[in-house]
Structure 1
């Protein structure tokens, strides 16, 4: 599993659905607050930028999304 720290404004996705919050697995959001290395406030939005939910998430609930290619090892 990814070990790079998550920072404010990073793009993340939910690894599992949160039915009570009406959020699907894979739902994309932005980290709006870092409470600790393992706890974050994430705003989940649709393609138009409409907020679908704001939720406190643990690190093990999130996949950190990348927008750049990794350097060759």
Structure 2
């Protein structure tokens, strides 16, 4: 992952397990600080009540930016019926 894709306040997911911090691949956090000229990021992990349970510096290759918008302007959602 390139560092120019990760920005302040991006919602990210871990791409690796970090057992020493009790964090696991797929856990979601928020970028709260850009470190070392964009070569690292302070990511805060919070519970559903907004209480931070971990905050640590991570490298870009340990993160994946999550998107909540369509991938392209021409994308349309499709209704699936069962």
Instruction: Tell me whether the two structures share a fold, i.e. TM-score over 0.5.
Output: yes
Match of 1:41 in 2: 42
Q: Which structure has the highest helix share of the two?
A: 2
| 1:42-62: CA deviation from partner (whole Å, max 9, x where unpaired) | 001122222120010000000
**Deviations for 1:9-55, whole angstroms, at most 9, x for unmatched residues?**
00001111111011111111000001122210000112222212001
Q: Which has the higher strand share?
A: 1
Tell me whether 1:57 sits opposite 2:51 in the alignment. no
Runs of 4+ in 1 over 6 A off after TM superposition: none
The TM-score with structure 2 as length reference comes to 0.78
Q: Which has the larger radius of gyration?
A: 2
Could you tell me which runs of 5 or more consecutive residues in structure 1 were left unpaired when the two chains were aligned: none
- Distance in 2, Cα, partners of 1:19 & 1:63: 18
Matches within 5 A, 1:24-35: 24-35=24-35
